[in-house]
Amino acid sequence: MGLKTVILAATAACAIAGAAAAGDYSKSVVPGYPDVAAEYLQVPGYAAPGTPKGLNTASFLRLRAAVDGDAPRPANAVIVALPGFASTPSHWLYLASQLVHKAQARTCDGQPCRVEVWVLQRRGANLADTTALTAARKARSPRLALDYYLGPDALQPSAVPGAPAQVGPATAQAKWKPLSEQDLAFMADWDFQAYAGDVDAMIGLIGQKTGAHNIFLAGHSQGGGFVSNYAARLKPSGQRGIAGLSGLIFLDGGPSAGTQQTPTPAELDAYFAHVADLRAGKAPVYTDANGLLGAVAGPASAASQSVTGIYYAFSDPTAESIFPLRTAAMKEGPGDKFLKAISLTWLARAGTSFDTDPVPGGGVQMPVLQFLGEGLGVLDFKPVPGTETQCDQTPPAPLPPGPARMMMGAPPKCVPSAAMVDPNKVYGWIEGGGNGGSPIDAGKAKAWMDSQGFAPARSNIRPVTVRFKDAGTLTLDASDMIGSNWYPSERWDYDAGFVGKYKMLKVDRDGVKLDVDKTAIANIPVYVARQGFTQGVSGNPFPGVSDYTEINRTGTWQTDQAKAVTPFDPKINVAILHHTDFVSADDSTPDKGRPGEAGNSAVANTLIDWVLKRAKGAAQVPTPKALGVVTRY
């Protein structure tokens, strides 16, 4: 599908009648980056079999220079970014904004440079009913969202005298109900090809002039695996994905050229047996309170997290939060008694919810977030005098195998208990990042809080009416960008591991047609930032790549060709970053120290020059009018 066809189709499909004027950007600039405008967009995507037409869409967050308004200048580079496992564009918000911001301070062809970042949204977000989230933003009343998704009786009086009411699980009075596995049976075919086709549609919006070469593909975590797979994939055009790209960017995911040459017949049979189970309803098509993320996954949890995001957007960060960190229904683990007993400010709740170690050495974070979370700071907590030795005797959760065990370190010596908590105190947060009180933490809880609460008012997404098997006919408005994926695709997660495993994969069977050849990844610049490393040498897995840069926790390694283009200080490292810090590390003091130190983003302050030095010419990018963008509220 060509650029003109996609734009015309998007314009026809996404115009929202009666909305406010298209030129209003006041509610669509990124918090902390007033020179960066955000728009949440949909264009026609890959036609996955069985999926209702209105849901076969590619959704993405577009970040660009706000000063250009409705007439975006040609882009010197466009970075198409893929979030990691269970992630959304919110996780890319700050790194992407830093890149767009920094580009404007650099000069390209005698004028300020333009870099745009387009972050793909997972398809499960197309199924989110965000009507009440938008209504709450418009009215600046989070309670509207709370009542709709969780029920007006979900807010219960606190057991602590003087404390605000606390939000519990959703009740029967909630108007929103999750879709069933039967409703979403078509998700069985939301496979690697569907996501690759969505990226094809996004790239199809970018008009490359003759001689221009400036589209970069980036991925974090699981998204990094996608980068290798997409670059090696044979597209419908007959070219490999790499042919239209100027560089590959891996953030703590990959780079990987596969660990096995080709699948065995038995491995192919096992793959197609599982696909058949998904299609037959014998295996769940979306993740719901199971798998690696447990109770924090699935539509009910994601809807609750989305409501929390609305409160983050409109609450005083120093006020007491009404959302507990742990609920009575959750399986109890180390530190959960402590977290159920403690009262926190909104900022402290944000930090404690995603920091890898909010009580240093206390082991109170869920194991998966000890590995996948961020270093945001520390909880401003000291045990009540006399209780210092009253540790919670709950045994630490078993450490998962592999890299997670290495990252999480030794078990805690003293898990804090409920007895250590002062019931009359609301505990705050000590920030990390630049000028923060925790110099070993790369991020800030305020940035995490803002990213979870942010949704641009500018969008071209309109309501879609779909008839479902169990829920009947529903109209879904997914135009409010969400900070968590409501319906994570099991097929996508399964395909990500399967396709990534092999150097070469050629399949045409049971409706699956794949041609992936990772030996084709050559003669293209590669940038890597990751915690893992190969001691003493580069971990470059691509023999045909000679322009290779890797920043790891020991320093920076570059090939001679990479150094000749953008030489970096070999002492730059990511030692204080964690798995997810790569996509949202704080950059509040970029002039202090070197990239990788607190307040100086290791990725943003190296990647911006890496990209611009490898981009050629300028790309025509679509105007908001061409895409049917309007202001929702």
Residue with tokens 């959302």: 323
Phi/psi at 299 (5° precision): -65, -40
Non-local CB neighbours of 298 within 8 Å, separated by 6+ positions: 178, 286, 287, 288, 289, 290, 486, 487, 488
Q: What is the pLDDT of residues 159-205, one digit of tens each?
A: 777 778 889 889 999 999 999 999 999 999 999 999 999 999 999 99
**What are the structure tokens assigned to 300, written together?**
């009910």
pLDDT above 70 covers a percentage of the chain that reads: 90
Q: What is the pLDDT of residues 383-417, one digit of tens each?
A: 999 999 999 877 655 555 544 444 445 677 889 99
Predicted local confidence at residue 220, as pLDDT: 96
- Quote the distance between the C-alpha of residue 471 and its chain's center: 29
Element (H, E) at 311: helix 299-314
State the sign of the Cα–Cα–Cα–Cα dihedral 365, 370, 374, 375.
positive
10 Å CB burial of residue 360 (0-12, 13-18, 19+) is middle
- Residues 203 and 305: their CA atoms lie apart, in Å, by 31
Domain end, chosen from 453, 468, 485, is at 453
For residues 598 and 441, is the Cβ–Cβ distance under 8 A?
yes
Q: What is the residue range of 164's domain?
A: 131-180+291-453
Reduced to 3 states, what is the DSSP secondary structure of residue 220?
Answer: strand
149 — pLDDT class (breaks 50, 70, 90): very high
Q: Does 524 share its domain with 577? A: yes
Q: Does 209 share its domain with 174? A: no
CA dihedral 142→145→146→150, nearest 10 degrees, is -170
533 — pLDDT class (breaks 50, 70, 90): low
Q: Does 429 share its domain with 446? A: yes
Domain end, chosen from 418, 453, 488, is at 453
Q: Does 200 share its domain with 54? A: yes
Q: Does 228 share its domain with 362? A: no
Q: Does 436 share its domain with 537? A: no
Predicted local confidence at residue 403, as pLDDT: 46
- Residues 351 and 164: their CA atoms lie apart, in Å, by 20
Strands (E), 383-444: 426-427, 429-431
- Residues 101 and 609: their CA atoms lie apart, in Å, by 13
Is residue 599 situated within a structural domain?
A: yes
**What total number of domains does the chain contain?**
2
pLDDT above 90 covers a percentage of the chain that reads: 77
Residues 450-466: b if buried by 16+ CB within 10 A, e if exposed: bbbbbbbbbbbbbebeb
How do strand 429-431 and strand 377-379 relate by DSSP bridges? Answer: antiparallel
Is residue 275 situated within a structural domain?
A: no
10 Å CB burial of residue 544 (0-12, 13-18, 19+) is exposed
Is residue 286 situated within a structural domain?
A: no
Predicted local confidence at residue 404, as pLDDT: 45
Q: Does 511 share its domain with 569? A: yes
For residues 375 and 344, is the Cβ–Cβ distance under 8 A?
no
336 — pLDDT class (breaks 50, 70, 90): confident
The stretches of 457-578 forming alpha helices (DSSP H) are 490-501, 560-565
Q: What is the pLDDT of residues 253-283, one digit of tens each?
A: 989 999 999 999 999 999 999 999 999 999 9
Q: Does 356 share its domain with 425? A: yes
Q: Give the Å distances, CA to CA, from 612 to 41, 106, 199, 228, 588.
A: 25, 9, 22, 21, 22
616: DSSP letter: B
Predicted local confidence at residue 9, as pLDDT: 36
Is residue 618 situated within a structural domain?
A: yes
Is residue 478 situated within a structural domain?
A: no
Q: Does 63 share its domain with 150? A: no
Is 50 exceeded by the pLDDT of residue 568?
yes
Amino acid of residue 631:
T
Is 70 exceeded by the pLDDT of residue 296?
no
535 — pLDDT class (breaks 50, 70, 90): low
Is residue 467 situated within a structural domain?
A: no
- Quote the distance between the C-alpha of residue 456 and its chain's center: 16
Is residue 278 situated within a structural domain?
A: no
> Can you state the angle between helices 299-314 and 445-453, rounded to 10 degrees?
110
Q: Does 341 share its domain with 328? A: yes
Predicted local confidence at residue 20, as pLDDT: 35
Domain end, chosen from 420, 438, 453, is at 453
Q: Does 8 share its domain with 73? A: yes
3 — pLDDT class (breaks 50, 70, 90): very low
Predicted local confidence at residue 153, as pLDDT: 94
**What are the structure tokens assigned to 351, written together?**
């930090």
CATH of residue 81's domain is: 3.40.50
- Residues 215 and 110: their CA atoms lie apart, in Å, by 21
- The three-state (H, E, C) secondary structure of 260-280, written as one string: ECCCCHHHHHHHHHHHHHHHH
Is 90 exceeded by the pLDDT of residue 24?
no
* Mean pLDDT along residues 314-325: 94
Q: Does 380 share its domain with 351? A: yes
Is residue 464 situated within a structural domain?
A: no
Is 90 exceeded by the pLDDT of residue 211?
no
Amino acid of residue 353:
S
